[in-house]
Amino acid sequence: MLTLNCKGKILSLQTPVVMGILNVTPDSFYTGHLNDGIQTMRRLAGEMLAAGAGMIDVGGQSTRPGSERVAANDEWKRIQPVIQEILLSYPEAIISVDTYHSQVARLAIEAGAAIINDVSGGEMDPEMIGIVGSLKVPFVCMHMKGTPEHMQKLAVYDDLLAEILDYFIQKIEQCTEAGIHDIIVDPGFGFAKNIQQNFELLKKMGTLQILGKPILAGLSRKSTIYKTLGITAAEALNGTTVLNSIALLNGASILRVHDVKEAMETIQLIEAYRSA
């Protein structure tokens, strides 16, 4: 049975869990979670936890295509009060921090966060994997080519799934050698992948189960959904539910979403379907 040891809190993945997205950024592609103040962030986190989120993913840096980087110090200033406020109000909450800065990762774990979620898999900060290994916390290792500023220019593959598998085989070895025991693989929907490639990846995602690691699917309100449907990100909840359903059927253990209640209902229905 897959589990995560989150600083002594054991999170079972026998049934898929939801990671709620809490963006503390002024330029999130989905404006439903813009930072209106610390009390808004606390309220949103409380609503997600009440709806069943297994963890809250706090991010202070936009990683949408073409986004510009924020310095580690500025990123920390954004997320530190949010982490503090959530843990004061909900001390049992498991907080993941979405960062590619090892400095931010270390400070966040020291402040009470329990998971590091790095969109670059340690590629953008060579100290990240070693730091996470020393902190003894789970690591979400995502597949991306290049950086968020330029990644869409690199959406070229001879064999998409084979390249992603090779990447994760190497990363799992690197993470294990660094002392990371709980490694979560995220195939990186939308990161250096175009719409057609995202659908191909979703269709073949079950193959990643051969890695023997939990799989995280981050499809929530992404452009693959709203551009395919000719709608906006704000209108993409139904499309998100459809693709999350496919992801669960293809082996996802964690759904990273903006809308926790709907994702929890999706998991409940898929589990009922599987047990019929």
- Pairing of β 17-23 and β 55-59: parallel
Cβ pair 90, 45 in contact under 8 A: yes
* Residues 266, 244 contacting (CB under 8 angstroms): yes
Asked whether the CA dihedral 236, 238, 242, 248 is positive or negative, the reply is positive
Whole-angstrom distance, CA of residue 59 vs CA of residue 70: 11
SS (H, E, C) the chain: CCEEEECCEEEECCCCEEEEEEECCCCCCCHHHCCCCHHHHHHHHHHHHHHCCCEEEEECCCCCCCCCCCCHHHHHHHHHHHHHHHHHHCCCCCEEEECCCHHHHHHHHHCCCCEEEECCCCCCCCCHHHHHHHHCCCEEEECCCCCCCCHHHHCCCCCHHHHHHHHHHHHHHHHHHCCCCCEEEECCCCCCCCHHHHHHHHHHHHHHHHHCCCEEECCCCCHHHHHHHCCCHHHCHHHHHHHHHHHHHCCCCEEEECCHHHHHHHHHHHHHHHHC
Position 79, amino acid: I
The token duo for 43 is 């309220």
Which residue numbers are catalytic?
A: 222, 256
